């Protein structure tokens, strides 16, 4: 255990420090905002003078606004630019259109209900109470989704001989090596000025248990990471440890260690049975709002007593008058829409930066990963695909759909965006072969979603730089005349449905206060 840099040492300490430490540190740094329960404030009921609402965009935020205002007696119209509602809540199945700019294609998965691809949100944490509240209200059935899986793999081209390593082996070795250092520090008096003798003894005992150390405080490997033999019939033969320096260098290992520690990735995670668009369908079943699809908004104009919206639909320009407008359009489209919003408001909108995520899903003719003991969870790699997700549902079925790439890397995603679907599948297959033998031979079809090229979206997970966010959110989270901005972009949780619902929650609160004061 020589040649270890302080930075790598501290990175690994953070990775294995525990969810409480990670969460509290993230909160202190402003990286995670608290998520509260579903709001219980009362929206002022509609009256004869002001009851017409127009909602621009039928994403989750827009649908929730329509539902809540409908329940208070308002008349809602949703203008949606796409051929469907849901926004980035997109589940792709057999025969579905993937509306990519200049590269539209039809999903060729088998026509089976359990062969689907959640191209947008795919996880619901247990603390996302707004979203879970709607699932309960609309009777959207949920199932547990495995996220962390110690039998999944980490893989790095230049570490561990370029071979995949079980995540559990990495985590066990990381804990073991770190615990050995901690034990030796206590044994050599490194903490005597900070801790009492009893505390040091307890620390050494804890580190021995945490890392599965020997009586002398050394780490020689552990049965926690698996074994070389059939442990049901013989005493465990411990696997050799990984090289400590390589353990510290591994970024994919760090991701695997953090999977359960991140507040939004920790168990339990859930997903709707049959696909994430079960949330959208739940709203749709309970909405009386008029929904106009393929409606391209051209203008937004505030008036003293309402809002005028102009939009293109079926080749004609239409005008819609409403008392209030809730705007779910991605912020980067707003400069191209004629409006009379204030310069200060538009300047704040201009600070948003588009997110750039890429996903590809592959239908596999056989669930070969289950033969390797993998049932759900994620494998991490330093290759272009970044991650492979295994389905948690339909265990032991003949076929399955794997998420063959989930990439957050802007440079790699830009390369993927320039490829044809066939070339994207080829890259995903080549990368997968380095993790699972003969991976490419199981692929029957694939479908990909580069969010920066998806019509009417052209990005996802919009965000602002921290130094300007507070100032701009103070402007954008308020009413601009009779116009309200909504969507995950205007929350502290961009990219998550809970963030979208929180933004709608906030806008409705501001709206309700405005209506009460005007009464």
Binding residues for FAD: 80-81, 120-123, 297
From residue 420, give the alpha-carbon distance in Å to each of 14, 391, 425, 469. Answer: 39, 25, 9, 36
In this structure, what are the phi and psi dihedrals at residue 447, rounded to the nearest 5 degrees?
Answer: -145, 140
Cα(95)–Cα(402) distance, rounded to whole angstroms?
Answer: 18
Cβ within 8 Å of residue 457, ≥6 positions away:
87, 88, 330, 451
In sequence order, what DSSP letters do the residues of 386-403 get, joined into one string?
Answer: -EEEE-SSSTT-S-EEEE
Cβ within 8 Å of residue 182, ≥6 positions away:
203, 204, 207, 211
Q: Which one, of 417, 422, 4, lies nearest residue 178 by Cα?
A: 4
Which residues is 166 bridged to in the sheet?
A: 153
Cα(498)–Cα(130) distance, rounded to whole angstroms?
Answer: 6
Strands (E), 396-490: 400-407, 443-450, 483-485
Cα(253)–Cα(273) distance, rounded to whole angstroms?
Answer: 30
Q: Which one, of 242, 244, 248, 209, lies nearest residue 225 by Cα?
A: 242
**Tokens standing for 11?**
């990175």
For 253, the enclosing helix (H) or strand (E) is helix 251-258
From residue 226, give the alpha-carbon distance in Å to each of 34, 111, 146, 175, 221. Answer: 37, 38, 20, 15, 10
Angle formed at CA 244 by CA 238 and CA 250, multiple of 5 degrees: 110
Feature table: binding site: 80-81, 120-123, 297
In this structure, what are the phi and psi dihedrals at residue 298, rounded to the nearest 5 degrees?
Answer: -110, -30
- 458 exposure class (CB count in 10 Å sphere: 0-12, 13-18, 19+): middle
Feature table: binding site for substrate: 123
From residue 306, give the alpha-carbon distance in Å to each of 52, 301, 322, 324, 410. Answer: 9, 9, 6, 6, 41
Residue with tokens 């020997």: 214
């Amino acid at each position: 255990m020589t040649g270890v840099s302080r930075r790598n040492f501290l990175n690994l300490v953070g990775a294995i420090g525990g969810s409480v430490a990670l969460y509290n540190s993230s909160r202190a740094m402003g990286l995670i905002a608290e998520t509260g329960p579903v709001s219980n404030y009362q929206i002022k009921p509609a009256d004869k003078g002001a009851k017409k609402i127009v909602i621009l965009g039928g994403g989750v935020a827009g649908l929730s606004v329509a539902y809540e205002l409908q329940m208070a007696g308002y008349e809602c119209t949703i203008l949606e630019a796409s051929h469907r509602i849901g926004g980035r809540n997109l589940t792709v199945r057999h025969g579905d259109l993937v509306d990519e700019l200049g590269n539209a294609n039809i999903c060729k998965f088998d026509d089976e209900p359990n062969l689907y691809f959640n191209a947008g949100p795919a996880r619901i944490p247990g603390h996302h109470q707004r979203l879970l509240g709607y699932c309960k209200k609309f009777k959207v059935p949920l199932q547990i989704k495995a996220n962390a899986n110690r039998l999944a793999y980490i893989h790095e081209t230049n570490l561990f001989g370029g071979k995949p390593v079980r995540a559990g082996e990495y985590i066990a070795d990381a804990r073991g090596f770190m615990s050995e250092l901690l034990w030796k520090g206590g044994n050599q008096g490194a903490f005597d000025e900070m801790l009492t003798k009893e505390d040091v003894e307890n620390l050494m005992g804890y580190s021995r248990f945490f890392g599965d150390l020997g009586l002398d405080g050394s780490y020689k490997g552990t049965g926690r990471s698996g074994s070389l033999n059939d442990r049901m019939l013989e005493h465990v033969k411990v696997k050799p440890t990984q090289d400590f320096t390589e353990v510290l260098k591994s970024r994919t290992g760090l991701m695997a260690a953090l999977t359960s520690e991140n507040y939004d990735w920790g168990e339990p995670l859930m997903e709707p049975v049959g696909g994430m668009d079960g949330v959208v369908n739940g709203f749709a079943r309970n909405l009386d709002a008029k929904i106009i699809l393929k409606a391209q908004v051209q203008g937004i104009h505030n008036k003293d007593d309402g809002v005028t919206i102009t939009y293109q639909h079926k080749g004609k320009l239409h005008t819609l008058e409403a008392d209030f407008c809730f705007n779910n359009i991605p912020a980067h489209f707003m400069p191209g829409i004629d409006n009379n919003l204030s310069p200060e408001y538009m300047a704040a909108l201009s600070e948003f930066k588009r997110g750039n995520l890429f996903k590809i899903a592959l239908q596999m003719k056989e669930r070969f990963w289950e033969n390797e003991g993998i049932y759900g969870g994620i494998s991490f790699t330093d290759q272009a695909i970044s991650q492979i997700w295994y389905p948690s549902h339909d265990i032991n079925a003949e076929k399955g759909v794997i998420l063959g790439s989930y990439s957050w890397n802007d440079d790699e995603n830009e390369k993927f965006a320039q490829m044809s679907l066939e070339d994207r599948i080829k890259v995903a297959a080549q990368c997968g072969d380095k993790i699972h033998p003969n991976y490419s031979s199981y692929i029957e079809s694939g479908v990909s979603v580069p969010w920066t090229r998806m019509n009417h979206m052209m990005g996802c997970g919009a965000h602002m730089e921290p130094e300007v966010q507070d100032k701009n959110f103070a402007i954008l989270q308020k009413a601009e005349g009779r116009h309200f901005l909504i969507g995950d972009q205007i929350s502290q949780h961009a990219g998550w449905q809970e963030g979208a619902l929180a933004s709608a929650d906030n806008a409705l609160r501001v709206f309700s206060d405005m209506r009460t004061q005007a009464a």
